[in-house]
Structure 1
Amino acid sequence: MVLREWARDAVAETADVRAALRRAATDPASLTDGEWVALLGADGTELDELCAIADSARQTVTDPDALTFVVNRNFDTTVIASGADGVPELSALVDEAWQLGATEICMQGPIPVDAPDDGYLRLIEQIHAVAPEMHLHAFRPPEVRDGAARMGLSIPEFLSRARDVGLGSVPGTAAQILDDEVRARLSGGSAPPVSEWIESIEAAHDVGLFSTSTLLYGHVESSRHIVAHLRLLNEIQDRTGGFSELIVMPMLPSMAPAQLGAHGLASRRETRAVHAVARLLTFGRIAHVQVAWTKLDPDTVIDILRGGADDIGGLLIDGVLMPAAGQESGRVLSAQQVADIAAAVGRRPVQRTTGYGAPPAALLTPIPQVHGR
């Protein structure tokens, strides 16, 4: 088994962590890379203090009493564009999601190789025709590049056309760690270069589409890679202002390279530390930090919400026509569960749009009253 670099360089001296904590509490922007690395290795009382500092920072940039969420529906582009028997019409799936209260469709994955050259745009048009007010959050950088290549367009030209027919924002997934060596090790050498991800995301921002930003940890990265990744996201945000949120995600065992094994994945300590550091290192640039609740156990979700995160993400409603039409099918979060999580961290559940605005009253999902608030 290959021992992860994270496990080696995340062991920090208590004195280094204490010094970094003092600076993080007063001026996180002044910390050096070495100090951030030290904080990623925090444990015990130092880790608790780091998380408390991160949560204090959260309260200054978002509603301190709110736990936000969006009502959304996931679609796997490859599935819904396959034309296979048993796949309902996209219009029916979209209408069902709208009737169930979804304000967002999240669609990721490539269209089939034999699909029409303008297949991505056709999907957008179909969704927009059924539910014009539905926000479409779709197409990662690899799909954006695929769509542009199929149509013989530049990246900005393709994104402009997608925006004009109804695309609202793009997922900042497929970022993993924005380091070519790390990406090559994860993919066996087949990953697209970091420059392509940056080009695609910045092009989206430049044509008026916002995006999420992401960080995938718990694999072959070192803590210095984590710091460099977050600094690069900050640089992009300084140039474009187009990131709506940061989603920090652990590598799941089912997706891990074989050489890692189960023991190579992130611990609960690491998960708490990386979320707290993500909040503090992007402080003043990216307002929202989202919990990837489908990838974490419930107790860890609570820990992260107490350590700098303000958003629980999407409910991921499935519907009944074809629950398997989307990624992570079967992992639905109910309104009652959101209310319970909010109560556990002393907040109130607040429904939001994809862009963190307030949805029209007619689209609000009923949320149970939280006793004692």
Structure 2
Amino acid sequence: MPAPQAPSRSSLAGPLGRAEAAPAGLSDADYEALLGADGADLRALTTLADSVRRDTLGDGLTFVANRNLDTAVAGRPGAEDLVDALVDEARALGATEICLQGPLPAEAPDDGYRALVARITGRAPLHLHAFRPAEIADGARRAGLGVAEHLAALREAGLGSVPGTGAKILDDELRTTLLGGPDLPVAEWVALIEAAHAAGLRSTSTIIHGHLESPAQVVAHLRTLAAIQDRTGGFSEFIAMPMTPDTTPPHLAGRIRGADEREVRAVHAVARLLLHGRIDHVQAAWPKLGPELTRTVLAGGADDVGGLLLDGRLLPGAGPEEGLELTRTEIDATAAALGRTVRQRTTLYDVPAR
């Protein structure tokens, strides 16, 4: 599918003016038009988004010191000593968060999700950010519990928050196309995220773009997230991730348009505007964007660079972000170039305990 064509300059003067007066008050048609901004219009859009970011949050640039653990390894029976060692190493490296995504192995015990949470949080006072909606449903099924009861057990065991990933694009037909078969229905994804929020677990919110979606589907996705936030207040941040060649499903090879720099900038800026007053933090997903584009979106509405993804020496590989690590020196250089002040944060944007 070709990228949306940028409207003429005159067609965006109205939406840009209305966005300046009320960033979150535009019509769907206005936001769809802004997603196609290019040239001078794109510069005006990203400048406006950055102004909204500054008015909301000031001139900080935040990050969290975290480490990914592979559930396929950490969740298998007999891995308890390895999990202890990995948690110890993460703490020694300065991590305040451990992130787990993906289902536990089939051979894990019925209460494996709860047991893994208890093992990690009982070992060290680290925030555990774990289990997407699909894994929440899987854990409840394995444990023979209702979703609310399962989430309560996870929280009691020490779970701190959940990733709002697996959202992809919240359109059932498109999700089926992307997966190549039935995916978790949008209604179920929403219900599981709202159940997590109701259990007192905050979550991230996300979108994957740059594949087969239309501007209207992007706006509808953002509207769905905004509506969830109105109901629960449970989202901590928004993360936009372009589909990259290494994450393109084989059955879609040659069909994905890919997100260019123009689109990435526009999506981040429109998200900043549409979600204004609901979700304050917009994260630049540096593992997907690379250093130059990360800096660019931070100058156009984003305020956070996410996690360092500390590897360590014990089992450094963990999922699609294997081998990627962001250093404090790199963050400081980015902040200096943008005239921003670096601040380490916790998962939920508080100041880490010293």
Q: Deviations over 1:71-121 (max 9, x none)?
A: 000012112223589x96101000100111100000011011121000011
Query: Does structure 1 residue 102 correspond to structure 2 residue 83?
Result: no
Shift of residue 255, structure 1, vs aligned partner:
1.7
Q: Secondary structure at the match of 2:33?
A: helix
Q: How does 1:244-283 map to 2 (within 5 A)?
A: 244-257=236-249, 258-261=251-254, 264-283=257-276
2: CA distance, partners of 1:250 / 1:322: 27
1:67 aligns with one of 40, 46, 61? 61
Match of 2:48 in 1: 53
Q: Secondary structure at the match of 2:317?
A: helix
Q: Secondary structure at the match of 1:45?
A: helix
Match of 2:117 in 1: 124
Q: How does 1:182-221 map to 2 (within 5 A)?
A: 182-221=174-213
Contact 1:88 1:322 in 2 (8 A): no
2: CA distance, partners of 1:194 / 1:10: 28
More deviation, 296-305/171-180:
296-305
Match of 1:307 in 2: 300
Q: Deviations over 1:136-162 (max 9, x none)?
A: 000000100000001111111100000
Structure 2 unaligned regions, length at least 5:
none
Q: Deviations over 1:299-338 (max 9, x none)?
A: 1111100000000000000101110145412111111111
User: What code does the residue aligned with 1:21 have?
Assistant: L
Task: Let me know the Cα RMSD of the aligned residues.
Answer: 1.6
Q: Secondary structure at the match of 2:342?
A: strand
User: What code does the residue aligned with 2:139 have?
Assistant: G
Q: Deviations over 1:228-287 (max 9, x none)?
A: 000000000000000000011111112224445387100100000000001000000000
Query: Does structure 1 residue 348 correspond to structure 2 residue 319?
Result: no
Q: Deviations over 1:193-238 (max 9, x none)?
A: 0011101100000011100000110011101000000000000000
Q: How does 1:354-365 map to 2 (within 5 A)?
A: 354-361=347-354
User: What code does the residue aligned with 2:282 have?
Assistant: V
1:76 aligns with one of 61, 70, 73? 70
1:27 aligns with one of 22, 30, 36? 22
User: What code does the residue aligned with 1:15 have?
Assistant: S
Shift of residue 12, structure 1, vs aligned partner:
2.0
Residues 137 and 331 (structure 1), Cα distance of their counterparts in 2 relative to 1, 3 Å cut? same
Q: Secondary structure at the match of 1:297?
A: helix
Contact 2:76 2:107 in 1 (8 A): no
Q: Secondary structure at the match of 1:28?
A: coil
Shift of residue 298, structure 1, vs aligned partner:
1.7
Residues 254 and 88 (structure 1), Cα distance of their counterparts in 2 relative to 1, 3 Å cut? farther
Match of 2:152 in 1: 160
- TM-score, with structure 1 as normaliser: 0.92
2: CA distance, partners of 1:83 / 1:331: 28
Contact 1:10 1:38 in 2 (8 A): no
Q: Secondary structure at the match of 1:318?
A: coil
2:221 aligns with one of 220, 229, 233? 229
Match of 1:14 in 2: 9
Contact 2:311 2:325 in 1 (8 A): yes
What count of residue pairs does the alignment treat as equivalent?
Answer: 353
Shift of residue 32, structure 1, vs aligned partner:
0.8
Residues 177 and 242 (structure 1), Cα distance of their counterparts in 2 relative to 1, 3 Å cut? same
2: CA distance, partners of 1:243 / 1:56: 22
> How many percent identity over aligned positions?
54
Structure 1 unaligned regions, length at least 5:
362-373
Q: Secondary structure at the match of 1:55?
A: helix
Q: Secondary structure at the match of 1:213?
A: strand
User: What code does the residue aligned with 1:149 have?
Assistant: R
Match of 2:34 in 1: 39
More deviation, 319-328/332-341:
319-328
Contact 2:96 2:346 in 1 (8 A): yes
Contact 2:77 2:109 in 1 (8 A): no
Match of 1:177 in 2: 169
User: What code does the residue aligned with 2:75 have?
Assistant: A
More deviation, 259-268/242-251:
259-268
Q: Deviations over 1:33-82 (max 9, x none)?
A: 111111000000100000000001001221x2210000000012112223
2: CA distance, partners of 1:224 / 1:238: 21
Contact 1:136 1:169 in 2 (8 A): yes
Shift of residue 178, structure 1, vs aligned partner:
0.6
